[in-house]
Amino acid sequence: MNSLIVSDVTKYYRDIRALNNVSVEFERNKIYGLLGRNGAGKTTLLNIITGKIFADRGKVTLNGTEVSENDEMLRNIFMMSERNYYPEGMKVTDAFRWTKVFYPGFDEERAVRLADQFGLGTNNKINSLSTGYGSIFKLITALCVNVPFVFLDEPVLGLDANHRELFYRALIECYSENPASYIISTHLIEEVSAILEEIILIRNGEIILKESRDELLYKYYSVTGSISAVDSYAAGRKVIGADILGGMKTAYIEGIPDRNSVPDGAEISKIDLQRLFIQLTNA
């Protein structure tokens, strides 16, 4: 399995266009961040890729074979989402076994071990779990399913800081031992930034960039100082946004910083992924 390709996908909900000619390729064995504001189209895109809903136009292919309504292809893709697809009253341990029927590579031993680390009782019924432990159950399932492409839609919803940190460590461990592509859609950008390799940014139903995290952050920077000093430096440069507080200003700029031309009263800094996301999606 080499790549999962979304080609010219468009989706409408009545008169609302949720996705507009979206094309994007997911390569094997990478951790992606699918980032966008609420309503940008992230979940709709994930649902189309994983066969939960149909596109109005376009297609999704895995190694050249269309995924839609193709059970053989869909077994190479797994999506962890807020919705519960397991029967009411099923115990966690039974759900692990049930998952293995549909995904033969599911690692039950690892799942039980992770459940113990998270403090999730495997004899508990799924419908009795709290929001946090419901998310933990779904995360464990996703991490142990052992398929080439795993999609995680808001994976740490309802988790406290300790459990979120445990999840990130478990994800890296699983990724190291059994490489796969993990596509993470989340609002906690600052928290997840360190583990992402590729960034896909979606705005108003369109992909506006796809780039490695390191290359992306290298292309942007900020300059902070007095309003006059910042405006002097920013003149003629590609400014993507700015913040003003009192008499101080921060401008966010695309390009390579020129430290030799920074005026007195201003300084150049690197920009983090969350701040860059805010500036690129405010347009």
CATH 3.40.50 fits 216-282, yes or no: no
Distance between CA atoms of 277 and 34, rounded to whole angstroms?
11
Please list the residue range(s) of the chain that carry CATH number 3.30.70.
Answer: 216-282
State how far the Cα of 141 lies from the Cα of 143, in Å rounded to an integer.
6
- Asked if residue 8 lies in contact with residue 22, where contact means CB atoms within 8 angstroms, the answer is yes
- pLDDT above 70 (res 148): yes
Domain with CATH 3.40.50.300 in the chain: 3-204
The pLDDT tens digits of the residues spanning 38-80 come to 999 999 999 999 999 999 999 999 999 999 989 899 999 999 9
pLDDT at site 2: 78
pLDDT at 187: 85
Confidence of residue 87 (pLDDT cuts 50, 70, 90): confident
The reported pLDDT for the residue numbered 1 is: 56
pLDDT digits (tens, 9 = 90+) for 217-254: 999 999 999 999 999 999 999 999 999 999 999 999 99
Interval 130-138 mean pLDDT: 93
Q: CA–CA separation, 153 vs 145, rounded Å?
A: 16
Count other C-beta atoms under 10 Å from residue 230's C-beta: 26
Confidence band of 83 (pLDDT split at 50, 70, 90): low
Between CA 93 and CA 109 the distance in angstroms is 11
Domain 3-204 has CATH 3.30.390.50: no
In angstroms, the Cα distances linking 282 to 3, 44, 51, 204, 278 are 31, 21, 31, 11, 6
Do 68 and 59 contact (CB within 8 A), yes or no? yes
Report which of 164, 200, 172 is spatially closest to residue 273, judged by C-alpha positions: 200
Is pLDDT of 109 > 60?
yes
pTM of the model: 0.92
Q: What is the pLDDT of residues 180-204, one digit of tens each?
A: 999 999 988 999 999 999 999 999 9
Give the pair of three-digit tokens for residue 115: 């459940």
Answer whether 20's CB lies under 8 Å from 206's CB.
yes
